[in-house]
């Protein structure tokens, strides 16, 4: 079970191999997997290995274990649930295990590397989504979710802060065409993913950071951003 993965690429390779193994157990090999999980047996776990093989086995005897362990006792609920519901439950726990294992191996990575790793993992549908045949849902920005200046701010792998208006996920791929019609409320310029943008929490218009004299560092400390026009209107009341 030990793994020497340490770089982002190595950890992601380990994650995808184990994920492939889990998916095979819960889809192509599901009848065999189901048969191995009799409730009369001891506490069983579903393991996915780096060589893309899967195994139903007892948990590791070491305490604490060398690596994070999968959900324990998946077999006990098998006969008390609908088959599809039970497989969905195992899928959810498998997703949690895969992520926890990946970030255990990522303990020595820096914040940008961890963020890149999660982004690579998040580009793939979860085990639960595959098993239940659920389609990806587009993420929509929400006013209630908090300040746009914070909610839409993201850092690239080199640490540069930039903001993307109307961030959406379509089939796990970024679609910048959806941003193309966004215009700066100050200069009227088109959206450019390479530039820092900030959204007004009052009028919901977007602005180049340079047009409203807001830097990425300054945006991090703003809880609620008001553009110059909205600030002037507020001052008149």
pLDDT (tens digit, 9 = 90+) per residue, 38-49?
999 999 999 999
Averaged pLDDT score across all residues of the chain: 80
- Quickly list H helices, 27-153: 30-36, 83-105, 111-122, 127-131, 148-151
User: What count of other Cβ atoms lies within 10 Å of the Cβ of residue 26?
Assistant: 22
Report the predicted TM-score, pTM, of the whole model to 2 decimal places.
Answer: 0.57
CA dihedral angle for residue 118, residue 114, residue 21, residue 73, rounded to 10 degrees:
-90
Question: Given the DSSP bridges, would you call strands 197-199 and 173-174 parallel, antiparallel or unpaired?
Answer: unpaired
Position 187 scores a pLDDT of 77
Start-to-end C-alpha separation, the chain: 66
Predicted confidence (pLDDT) per residue in 47-70, tens digit: 999 999 999 999 988 777 788 999
The Cα 67–Cα 104 span in angstroms is 8
Predicted confidence (pLDDT) per residue in 98-122, tens digit: 999 999 999 999 999 999 999 999 9
Q: Model confidence at 136, in pLDDT bands (50, 70, 90)? A: low
Residue 78: phi and psi, rounded to 5, are -55, -50
Q: Model confidence at 220, in pLDDT bands (50, 70, 90)? A: confident
DSSP string, 22-56: HHHHHTTTHHHHHHH--TTSS--EEEE-TTS-EEE
- pLDDT of 180 > 50? The answer is yes
Q: Model confidence at 155, in pLDDT bands (50, 70, 90)? A: very low
Please name each of the domains of the chain with its CATH number.
8-132 (no CATH), 197-234 (3.30.40.10)
CA 207 to chain CA centroid, Å, is 27
CA 84 to chain CA centroid, Å, is 24
User: What count of other Cβ atoms lies within 10 Å of the Cβ of residue 170?
Assistant: 13
More confident call, 167 vs 17: 17
Position 168 scores a pLDDT of 35
Q: Please compute the mean of the pLDDT values over residues 91-103 and round it to a whole number.
A: 96
Position 112 scores a pLDDT of 93
């Amino acid at each position: 079970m030990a793994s020497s993965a340490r770089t982002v690429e190595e950890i992601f390779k380990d994650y995808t191999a184990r994920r492939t193994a889990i998916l095979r157990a819960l889809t192509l090999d599901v009848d065999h997997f189901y048969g191995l999980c009799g409730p009369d047996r001891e506490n069983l776990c579903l393991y996915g290995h780096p060589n893309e093989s899967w195994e139903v086995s007892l948990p590791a005897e070491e305490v604490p274990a060398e690596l994070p362990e999968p959900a324990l006792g998946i077999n006990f609920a098998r006969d008390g649930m609908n088959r599809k519901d039970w497989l969905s439950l195992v899928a959810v726990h498998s997703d949690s295990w895969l992520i926890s294992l990946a970030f255990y191996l990522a303990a020595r990575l820096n914040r940008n590397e961890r963020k890149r790793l999660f982004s690579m993992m998040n580009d793939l549908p979860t085990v639960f989504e595959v098993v239940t045949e659920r389609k990806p849902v587009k993420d929509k920005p929400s006013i209630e979710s908090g300040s746009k200046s914070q909610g839409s701010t993201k850092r690239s792998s080199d640490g540069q802060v930039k903001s993307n208006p109307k961030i959406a996920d379509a089939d796990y791929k970024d679609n910048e065409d959806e941003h193309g019609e966004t215009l700066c409320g100050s200069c009227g310029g088109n959206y450019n993913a390479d530039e820092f943008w900030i959204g007004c929490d009052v009028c919901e218009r977007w602005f180049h950071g340079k047009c409203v004299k807001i830097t990425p560092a300054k945006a991090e400390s703003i809880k609620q951003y008001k553009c110059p026009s909205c600030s002037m209107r507020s001052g008149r009341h």
